[in-house]
């Protein structure tokens, strides 16, 4: 989804020969190998696909502001894929593809312009229409409430997520959604990948709302404090999540029978060398990345190493808050694309002014395959590692893999064989994890179509469907990955042999590149 962010965090780039083909027990599998209730879907998010940014009463979010400041290479989501007007066509494509479920997000400032106060009837109508269209075609909606798009009005009024006031406004917004849509929506995620959101937005300052302070940050931000705000914002996100989840659990769950959780961005992390220091640093990196959110949710408090390294800049939970946060989820969403090396940087703890990276005292180094650096290495052992870790450390909670997919240059080709290989490898990896006891309940390919991406606008693509931006109708075209996923979803047995044969067939001169 926003992988370039990751490369900005990198200090080093190391070329390694990582096995390109994943290690999974069977090359051959089919959908029948998965439990009958296992859900296969695909996803997008509001600002990335809807367009109609100033139509029917929607007001700007912090993402609109960010894009209009030119931060996504000058591209904006003003039109995006125009799903606001084309949702019926898109739901039909989902039906044709054979999806069980569609993950999308609600634009808070479309539903409640300015973040609080009256509900916008046109916004309500749009989401009712989309949800009804999905449900009437047997596609399960999985809804995220916040995906980088806080109403700008709340950012302006009190600083958005750095203020405790957000807890009340977020809970109110969530309740509108439960009340209006909860009879048809059974899967709710409060906040999408808060661990990346707070680092991009409050430490390095290159994602909305672009807050940071010198000497940190990749841009000069007009506001912020990189030493403290990532921790404050994360704390308020946890409290707002817990508040909304508790409300759902006490007031709606009994009659609506749904489930609530949040999603976390997870790299699988491995030590760069076999030194003891790098091994310890890797556990520290996992605690800072995953434990930051999962420890409070599962155990009621931040990891000890975070409390130790961050000190008073890390907010403390009161007993009541700890009880509220602990156990406030039915499932965890995992967003996983690739694996990284970790190198110990314990010296950074001697610095007087520190941000998250210095507090974590680590260096993250990209593991690169031998395909182009733009594409992710196909290394599903990392996803297996993540699922195994959640099983062993966090008591095997129900998991939805909410994002996983291959990044490619946008519209280079419809023959996205590398994406097909990636999906084959990772879905096979999920099957292996299930066979070893993982409680994973679903897999969602990112993304259903080529969307407006956070950092590089329309420069990269993850979609199963290509969207022709030069066509006033924004026509959608299936890539090989859409066809492959569809075959798999419709029960065909798949193997890498088939993919390799397809690749051979395609490497004849009749290449189907777009004009
Ligand atoms: C950031 O916050 C910390 C902790 O509250 C404080 O000590 C520091 O002076 C602040 N830095 C800036 C640049 O405001
Ligand atoms: C990647 O590198 C390894 C080792 O050099 C080589 O055997 C393999 O064929 C390469 N794979 C690709 C896809 O280039
Ligand atoms: C995509 O292809 C069209 C031609 O079909 C071209 O005009 C456009 O610039 C391409 N976009 C990108 C991002 O490469
Ligand atoms: C399978 O699960 C067992 C028990 O949790 C664990 O010890 C083992 O490492 C797992 N195997 C793999 C390959 O993850
Ligand atoms: C590859 O081409 C051969 C010969 O035209 C055809 O029989 C086969 O089905 C093709 N394989 C795939 C995977 O498209």
**Closest-lying ligand 4 atom to the alpha carbon of residue 432:** 13
Phi and psi, residue 21, nearest 5°? -90, 135
Please report which confidence band the pLDDT of residue 105 belongs to, taking 50, 70 and 90 as the band edges. Answer: very high
- Which residue, chain included where needed, has tokens 């924004």? 474
Closest CA to ligand 3's atom 7: 470
CA of 505 to the centre of ligand 5 (A): 6
Cα of 438 vs centre of ligand 4, distance in Å, is: 10
Q: Please, which pLDDT band fits residue 505 given cuts at 50, 70 and 90?
A: confident
Q: What is the CATH number of the domain that holds 453?
A: 3.20.20.80
* CA–CA separation, 145 and 237 (whole Å): 12
Region of residue 156 (left: phi > 0; alpha: psi -120 to 50; beta: else): alpha
Residues 360-371: tens digit of each pLDDT: 999 999 887 666
Nearest CA to ligand 3 atom 4: 515
Quote the ligand 3 centre to 447 CA distance (angstroms).
19
- Cα(18) to ligand 2 centroid in Å equals 9
End-to-end CA distance of the chain: 26
Residues 276-309 have pLDDT tens digits of 999 999 999 999 999 999 999 999 999 999 999 9
Which residue has tokens 């600083």?
159
Catalytic residue among 50, 193, 363, 375: 193
The finding on whether 507 has its CB within 6 A of some atom of ligand 5 is: no
Range of the domain at 74: 35-363+403-417+444-478
Count structural domains, the chain: 1
User: Residue 89 catalytic?
Assistant: no
Q: Do 146 and 238 form a contact (C-beta atoms < 8 A)?
A: no
Q: Does residue 207 fall inside a structural domain? A: yes
> Is residue 223 in contact with ligand 1, taking CB distance under 6 Å?
no
Other CB atoms within a 10 A radius of the CB of residue 494 amount to: 21
Confirm or reject: Cβ of 388 under 6 Å from ligand 4.
Answer: yes
Listing from the earlier edge strand, what are the strands of the sheet with 268-271? 12-15, 362-368, 339-344, 268-271
Measured between alpha carbons, how far is 116 from 108 in angstroms, rounded to an integer?
A: 9
**501 touches ligand 5 (CB under 6 Å):** yes
Q: Which of 505, 510, 512 to mutate to test the pocket of ligand 5 (most atoms within 8 A of CB)?
A: 505
CA 365 – ligand 2 centroid, Å? 20
101 touches 39 (CB < 8 A): yes
pLDDT band at 23 (very low <50, low <70, confident <90, very high): very low
Lowest mean pLDDT among 88-92, 185-189, 333-337, 501-505: 501-505
Query: pLDDT tens digits for 108-125?
Result: 999 999 999 999 999 999
Condensed to tens digits (0 to 9), the pLDDT of residues 310-323 reads 999 999 999 999 99
315 C-alpha to center of ligand 1: Å? Answer: 14
Name the band, by pLDDT with cuts 50, 70 and 90, for residue 508: low
In a domain, 174, yes or no: yes
**Rounded average pLDDT over 430-456:** 96
CA-to-CA dists, residue 487 to 107, 493, 503, 511, angstroms:
33, 8, 16, 22
What 3-state DSSP class applies to 157?
helix
Q: Which sign does the torsion angle of CA 274, 277, 281, 283 carry?
A: positive
Q: Would you call 371 exposed, middle or buried from its count of C-beta atoms within 10 A (0-12, 13-18, 19+)?
A: middle
Atom of ligand 5 nearest to the CA of 504: 1
Q: Is residue 41 part of a domain?
A: yes
Ligand number nearest CA of 230 is: 1
- Residue 420: pLDDT band by 50, 70, 90 thresholds? very high
Asked, for residue 213, whether it belongs to a domain, the answer is: yes
Hey, which of 20, 368, 500, 503 would you mutate to test ligand 2's pocket, going by the most ligand atoms within 8 Å of its Cβ?
A: 20
Reported pTM: 0.92
Q: What value does the mean pLDDT of the chain take?
A: 92
pLDDT at 384: 96
Residue 229 annotated in active site: no
Question: Is any atom of ligand 2 closer than 6 Å to the C-beta of 20?
Answer: yes
- Evaluate whether residue 166 is within a structural domain: yes
Give residue 330's pLDDT: 98
Report yes or no on 136 lying in a domain.
Answer: yes
Which among 50, 375, 403, 453 is annotated as catalytic? Answer: 403
Rounded CA-CA distance 254/372 in Å is 50
Closest to 211 (Cα-Cα) out of 196, 193, 225: 225
Residue 37's Cβ-side half-sphere holds a number of Cα atoms within 13 Å equal to: 5
d(CA 476, CA 466): 5
Inter-residue contact 380 to 22 (CB < 8 Å): yes
Q: Is the peptide bond before 215 cis (omega within 30 degrees of 0)?
A: yes
For ligand 5, is residue 398 a contact (CB within 6 Å)? no
Is residue 25 within 6 Å of ligand 4 at its C-beta? no
- Contacting residues for 319 by C-beta, under 8 A, at least 6 apart: none
460 lines ligand 3 (CB under 6 A): no
Is 431 in contact with 448 (CB distance < 8 Å)?
Answer: no
- Ligand at shortest distance from the CA of 418: 2
Task: Look at residue 456 and tell me whether its pLDDT is greater than 90.
Answer: no
In a domain, residue 153? The reply is yes
For residue 387, is it within any domain? no
């Amino acid at each position: 989804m926003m992988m370039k962010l990751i490369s900005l965090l990198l200090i080093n780039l190391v070329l390694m020969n990582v096995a390109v083909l994943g290690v999974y027990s069977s090359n051959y599998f089919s959908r029948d190998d998965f439990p009958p209730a296992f859900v296969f879907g695909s996803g997008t998010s509001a600002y990335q696909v809807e367009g109609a940014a100033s139509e029917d009463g929607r007001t700007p979010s912090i993402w609109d502001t960010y894009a209009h400041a030119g931060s996504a290479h000058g591209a904006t989501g003003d039109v995006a894929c125009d799903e606001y007007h084309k949702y019926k066509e898109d739901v039909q494509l989902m039906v044709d593809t054979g999806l069980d479920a569609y993950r999308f997000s609600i634009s808070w400032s479309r539903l409640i312009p300015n973040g609080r106060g009256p509900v916008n009837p046109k916004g309500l109508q749009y989401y009712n229409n989309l949800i009804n269209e999905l449900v009437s075609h047997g596609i399960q909606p999985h809804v995220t409430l916040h995906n980088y798009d806080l109403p700008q009005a709340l950012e302006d009024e009190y600083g958005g997520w750095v203020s405790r006031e957000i807890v009340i406004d977020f809970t109110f917004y969530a309740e509108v959604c439960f009340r209006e849509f909860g009879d048809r929506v059974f899967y709710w995620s409060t906040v999408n990948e808060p661990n990346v959101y707070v680092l991009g937005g409050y430490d390095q300052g290159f994602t909305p709302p672009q807050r940071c302070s010198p000497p940190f940050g990749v841009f000069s931000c007009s506001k912020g404090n990189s030493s403290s705000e990532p921790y404050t914002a994360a704390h308020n996100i946890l409290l707002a999540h817990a508040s909304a989840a508790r409300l759902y659990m006490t007031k709606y769950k009994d009659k609506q029978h749904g489930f609530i959780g949040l999603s976390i961005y997870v790299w699988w992390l491995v030590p760069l060398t076999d030194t003891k220091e790098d091994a310890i640093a890797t556990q520290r990196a996992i605690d800072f990345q995953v434990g930051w959110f999962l420890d409070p949710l599962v155990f009621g408090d931040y990891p000890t190493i975070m409390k130790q390294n961050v000190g008073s800049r890390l907010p403390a939970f009161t007993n009541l808050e700890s009880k509220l946060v602990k156990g406030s989820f039915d499932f965890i969403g995992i967003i996983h694309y690739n694996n990284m090396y970790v190198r110990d940087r314990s010296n950074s703890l001697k610095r007087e002014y520190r941000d998250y990276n210095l507090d974590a005292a680590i260096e993250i180094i990209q593991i690169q395959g031998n395909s182009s650096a733009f594409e992710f290495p196909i290394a599903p052992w990392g996803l297996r590692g993540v699922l195994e870790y959640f099983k062993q450390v966090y008591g095997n909670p129900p998991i939805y893999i909410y994002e996983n997919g291959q990044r490619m240059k946008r519209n280079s080709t419809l023959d996205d064989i590398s994406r097909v290989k990636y999906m084959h490898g990772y879905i096979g990896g999920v099957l292996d994890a299930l066979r070893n006891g993982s409680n994973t309940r679903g897999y969602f390919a990112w993304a259903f179509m080529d969307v407006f991406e956070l950092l590089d606008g329309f420069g990269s693509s993850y979609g199963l469907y290509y969207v022709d931006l030069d066509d006033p109708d924004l026509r959608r075209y299936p890539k090989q990955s859409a066809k492959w996923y569809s075959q798999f979803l419709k029960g065909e047995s798949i193997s890498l042999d088939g993919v390799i044969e397809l690749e051979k067939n395609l490497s004849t001169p009749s290449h189907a590149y777009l004009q």
